[in-house]
Amino acid sequence: MKARRPAGAAADLAATLLALAALLAWDASGWDLAVVRWIGSASGFAWRDSWWASRLLHDGGRWTAWVLLLALVLATLRAPRQGAAAPSRAERWRWIAVMLACVVAVPALKRFSATSCPWDLAEFGGVAAYVSHWRFGLPDGGPGHCFPSGHAVAAFAFFGLHFMWREHDPHQARTWLALVVAAGLVFGGAQLLRGAHYPSHTLWTAWLCWAIHVAAARLPLPRRLLPQAA
């Protein structure tokens, strides 16, 4: 059966490349350390163990993500096999799988990273020296395993909701996109204030999750998975 690629592939690719260029420019600027120095001090980070950042936005955000994923699975089990007004069951499973791929990919990269968190730097009361995350395999004297942001993936993995809905209900798709970006920035901002991550750690997690979804969206979609109106 003939397959069709989804609409918006060119725009997706352009957005991905522009975001990559902006991220590389940010990394080259050296602003990561400058921003963290503005927040932290020799005694550490004032909000590191605060209830709202540590419990509410970190732990609570992670549990909220798992509850939302469970709700998506339950909704998928009840979804129709075909439909023009809403994603079919097969489409939903496809994007849930992509979301889970993000949840696996980002922590996997983090596991092999030699970059330590800001709160591990000697100037903030730790033992590490600042080393760019681009200097692969070069230890900074700290525990490492801090790049990219594993917590931000609890929000950015849900880019799949935008891709799932955009050919059925563009308004709902844009709403999900805005909510996911907002949640990711809030989670990343909380971790930044705690000293757990640099700004780039959150931004790279966002880009990686987006790129994974764009790559999945460019795979040919069999017509039987598309809305009947297509």
Q: What average pLDDT does the structure give for the chain?
A: 91
- Least confident window among 21-30, 122-131, 212-221: 212-221
Is residue 229 very low, low, confident or very high in pLDDT (cuts 50, 70, 90)?
very low
Helix (H) or strand (E) holding 221: strand 221-222
pLDDT tens-digit readout, 118-170 = 999 999 999 999 999 999 889 999 999 999 999 999 999 999 999 999 999 99
Closest CA to 230 of 138, 168, 177, 178: 168
**Would the pTM of this model clear 0.75, i.e. be above it?**
yes
CA-CA-CA-CA torsion sign (82, 169, 6, 176) = negative
The predicted pLDDT at position 222 comes to 55
Alpha carbon 170 to its chain's center: 21
